[in-house]
Amino acid sequence: MVKESYFTKMMSCVCEAVAKRLYEYLDGELNFRTRLLIRMHLGICARCSHRCQFYQALSAGIRERAEEMRPTENLRARLLSVIHSNDGSPDPR
């Protein structure tokens, strides 16, 4: 059916656009209108909705690992002293 294939093609264009901005969407970096459009699309598109859930789980997993890999007090103090000894100059040698 011509109509259906046109719809499928159009949907996959939207899916591509959504996929490109999904990280920004999840990080809350998009403006209200774009966020709303993506949210609406996620409501009707199982593929993008699954992808979104995957990204969410992935970034939650990364955050969890980052918590586990928190530097020891000793390393933290050393890093801070290196940072402060640079005076915040952009090009340390």
Site string for Zn ion, 29-68 (x = CB under 5 A): ----------------x--x--------------------
C-alpha to C-alpha distance for 40 and 55, rounded to whole angstroms = 18
CA dihedral 23, 27, 31, 35 (to 10 degrees): 60
Beta carbons within 10 angstroms of residue 42's beta carbon:
19
User: Which span sits near Zn ion by CB under 5 A: 11-19, 29-37, 53-61, 68-76?
Assistant: 11-19
CB of 25 to Zn ion, least distance (A): 12
Q: Which residues bind Zn ion (CB under 5 A)?
A: 15, 45, 48
